Amino acid sequence: MKLHIPLTTTEDRSYAIDIANQFAIPETMLQGRRLFIVSNAKVWQLWGDALCANVHQQPYHLYLMEDGEQFKSATTWIAIQEWLLAEGANRKSLLLALGGGVVGDLTGFVASTFMRGIDFIQIPTTLLSQVDSSVGGKTAINLPGGKNMVGTFYQPRLVAINTTTLSTLDPRDYAAGLAEVVKYGFAMDSALFEYLENRVTAIMERDQVTLAHIIAWCCRIKSEIVAQDEKEGGLRAILNFGHTFGHVIEKEGHYCDHNHGEAVAIGMVLAARLAEKVLSLPASATERLIRLLEQFTLPTTTTLTQETLDAGVASDKKSADTTITFVLTPSIGQAVLTPFSLPFRLKEISA
Ligand code: GLY
């Protein structure tokens, strides 16, 4: 007997990205539901009271996970689900992820699997998570063998961004978020890139108005891309500009030497140099990229050898059996998916 399972759905999964200078979660989303908040001790200490004031004094359950990429793990994923069960969570319960990419990716993954899926709200508190990881529904945990190796596409019900949380961000984490902002400009929107070049001082001073404008700009670019290609069949991959070399740099440094944004910054410069060779990107464009990244206090060079980079690229999770596809930029603001045969040997690639 053959059964037909119609997978086309008319269910509306669209959601708002709300950018404000306070926590702004509508009461209607919370009413009559049990609330379960996942955060970490540092973020909770800084922002827990302000969030609670916003959740309209409703009772909530709180899970504080350890801070750090190594805790975005299967162990934490199971622990949170056991906690949810023990605390009486049900299918109508609502999960709130208050924190950066680690909290957001992990909580999203829990939301997508617990009782086969419950609602969750992203409340990102780092620049990187506000402009990138909280938007678009990628959820993940790491395996010992690699970052984000297990995950789902599972959209939140709301992304509630409070830009004032950036005021307490460590300078290195702030710069890491700026790397993703530069990514949007250099690979997707030349007007954004020029805006960043012209606003370095305000950005480094964390001017709230400028930041809200930039965050909204990045989220608009990302949501337009995700709306067209939610599950990364093609177009969405351009959001990975700088990430192929970046992942190698992160991994080779054992996720210690460079954080994600720093590795992406170096990865973007390497990708731009590759684009100079194969897509005639003017060298002056790469120089502008390097200058902007340096102004944002980000690294732009690596000590890894070419051989290490080549080998690492081949084991990227986005590589296919015989090819690896890079996101390359023929000009500032444009990105093209460019496949190369494996084994990848950068030295042998010529103009
Ligand atoms: N961070 C890339 C994406 O969400 O697709």
pLDDT in tens, 246-287: 999 999 998 889 999 999 999 999 999 999 999 999 999 999
Q: What is the mean pLDDT of the chain?
A: 93
Closest-lying ligand 1 atom to the alpha carbon of residue 239: 2
- Token duo for residue 200: 């370095």
For the ranges 9-18, 94-103, 339-348, the maximum mean pLDDT occurs at 94-103
Q: Is 303 exposed, middle or buried (0-12, 13-18, 19+ CB in 10 A)?
A: exposed
Atom of ligand 1 nearest to the CA of 180: 1
222 is catalytic: yes
Atom of ligand 1 nearest to the CA of 237: 5
> What separation in Å is there between the alpha carbon of 231 and the centre of ligand 1?
10
Query: Residues 176-208: pLDDT tens digits?
Result: 999 999 999 999 999 999 999 999 999 999 999
- Tokens 């020029």 sit at which residue? 194
pLDDT tens sequence across 83-111:
999 999 999 999 999 999 999 999 999 99
Spelled out in words, what is the top-level CATH class assigned to the domain 171-348?
mainly alpha
How far does the centroid of ligand 1 lie from the alpha carbon of residue 261, in Å? Answer: 13
Q: Catalytic: 138?
A: yes
| Residue of 129, 130, 132, 180 to test ligand 1 pocket, by largest number of atoms within 8 Å of CB | 132
Q: Please, which residues have CB within 8 angstroms of residue 342's CB and are 6 or more apart in sequence?
A: 314, 319, 321, 322, 323, 324
Q: Which residues line ligand 1 (CB under 6 A)?
A: 132, 136, 138, 236, 239-240
Mutate to test the pocket of ligand 1, among 154, 155, 236 (most ligand atoms within 8 A of CB): 236
Atom of ligand 1 nearest to the CA of 232: 5
Q: Which CATH architecture has domain 2-168?
A: 3-Layer(aba) Sandwich (3.40)
Residue 36 has a pLDDT of 97
The Cα 24–Cα 34 span in angstroms is 18
**Reported confidence tier of residue 316, pLDDT bands at 50, 70, 90:** confident
Concerning whether 116 is annotated as a catalytic residue, the answer is yes
Residue 55 amino acid letter = V
Q: Which two tokens stand for residue 262?
A: 């720093």
Fold match between 2-168 and 171-348?
A: no
User: In which band, very low, low, confident or very high, does the pLDDT at 47 lie, cut at 50, 70 and 90?
Assistant: very high
Do 269 and 293 contact (CB within 8 A), yes or no?
A: yes
Residues 236-251 pLDDT 10s: 999 999 999 999 999 9
* Packed helices 283-295 and 190-198: angle between N→C axes, nearest 10 degrees: 50
> What ranges do the domains of the chain cover?
2-168, 171-348
Closest residue to atom 3 of ligand 1, CA basis: 239
In the annotation, is 91 catalytic? no
